[in-house]
Structure 1
């Protein structure tokens, strides 16, 4: 007799954590939240002061566009290694090392004297962020197998708060610290260092056995009987990678260029930073709610359509009246950016085992971020070539339409193990 989806979930749910793993769930949850909070400031803090960074370091528009493309490139390159590192050292240890790289890179970036050093130190931080991106869903499934939707929503909210806080507070921090953009960006190294503390406690000698390498955990019968599926042969995996890549493209274009679009329309630097904070801040409440909605839907396509429609409306507003309706466009773009927690949730829903989720997460995120690389760079180049934002906005509209189409396919009620 064929099992329903709910029946499959009951039979294929990952094994419950050992007593040692259940010892301090609040500590793991705190680590997840603080980690998520620090996985975006390296990027979102830059947008409000991008004009000052360009002037100080002598960047052209194309080079600045390259700077906005560095995050997805690093996520693609370094994210591939995350599952292998987690198998060898344990996911919590790898996340700890990643956070250390984030803090060090952000601290060194504030001393960069030229574009090359600025890019290199930014890449160091982004390498640490990359492993965190991939391993967050794995840690959730490992420690909270019965609360995937709720915990994903919790750390998605922290993602948004970190991005919004960095976008909205970098200018005030800069002004309070003498008006130098370097001081404003350096603040976020301290918050990354703070996030190390919960993972140090999790990895204390008394807990090391509890967080050993991933293969040490008991494996479900289905996983023991067959190797995890090859993602390159799964249409579901490719659809999810495409959706993840296109939503990331839209997000990084917004992070990198929305403040400049507003400033070019006559909006002050401080207000442009606040508008970006609104865009990113909406992900806090919606990022908590949407994963729980997504897990209750048999097909996530309608949710993808609603979010994409908000993005299209926001682009239309930026085309017609970027300054006059700036706050409305920021709200619409903020709603559209919530495709990210939906994509994360779908990663957890499109595979049945922890090993499958780890492989799917690495494949979808690394492939998706690789697809995302040209987008922000092309937006900067198109702006340089045309001297305005209409052509870049038209390009962004085409990408959003593609995101909706591939997201509808990724939202089907299928798993990578189904061999489609």
Structure 2
């Protein structure tokens, strides 16, 4: 399944372009599912939380329901924890009185992606999945969320602890407090399975990120900051869509000045790392499927399966170089990163990396786990972390 994740700075028209891309794929005869969080003008989609509805030209459209998902999850949690809640004398809450909390929007979208990947709504798998993500900064945080949540679950409820469940009654008597019930580990395992499926979808070689931006200084600044997070999380960008491009050579001086400013930004984007696609301004807000059609013609998802993604990080071995230090260097491209905003912490077999507003916990390769961090440097947009082999762990040459 070809998956296209669409995002961009707020107000750039990413929802419209996501719908147009999905519609164009469907009109080519490919079975396409569009996932959005809001209604799309011109598409008669299903109500939020319902099964996908068939819209114009056979396109399937589903909307996330964050409020409904939050109520269902919390109600189910209360049912599973009934014994503990009764012991504490807690009063349960009805679904009608539950109001969703911050973060429920992201969890509902991840749940929808899991259902789409698992094929819950159709016996036949979709050929194309187009997902309208939140604005750029929030989208990058969302795409990192499955890995972060799985790490938290493993730390708080280690799977190996389940082997001691037969000892829980005895341990409860010794400690004087009830031990975690089996349902808690089972719930964690179910959630881990769901998050793992979303991680596989996001990391699949057929999944790409599509950036939508209206040419201008604000969009250029937003993209410059986001490129660091995109590289840090190993995401693949298939194209940068310049949306609402104004016609050139207008006789109106004010209009011509706006077009000239866009051209200046487009020149920078043409020289940038992403492939550029220009979508002309319609002169009006899209309101029908016919309005979406000319937009989708410029950014229809490629039917071909993308090739294997190049490894975004690589290791340089200088141990055998003449005059070189006995070091291994792990290279992480971080375009746009600022030295003063970088923070690096080694914790066991993990490397905790902060680059401005972006964070990621990276598991070290087996060779690097047997080394100590000897230093780091940011040069030409590449962070090079130097590792020195630990004599206590590294095999000695005879």
Q: TM-score if structure 2 supplies the norm length?
A: 0.26
Question: 1 or 2 for the larger relative contact order (CA 8 Å, sep ≥6)?
Answer: 1
More strand by share: 2
More helix by share: 1
Larger radius of gyration: 2
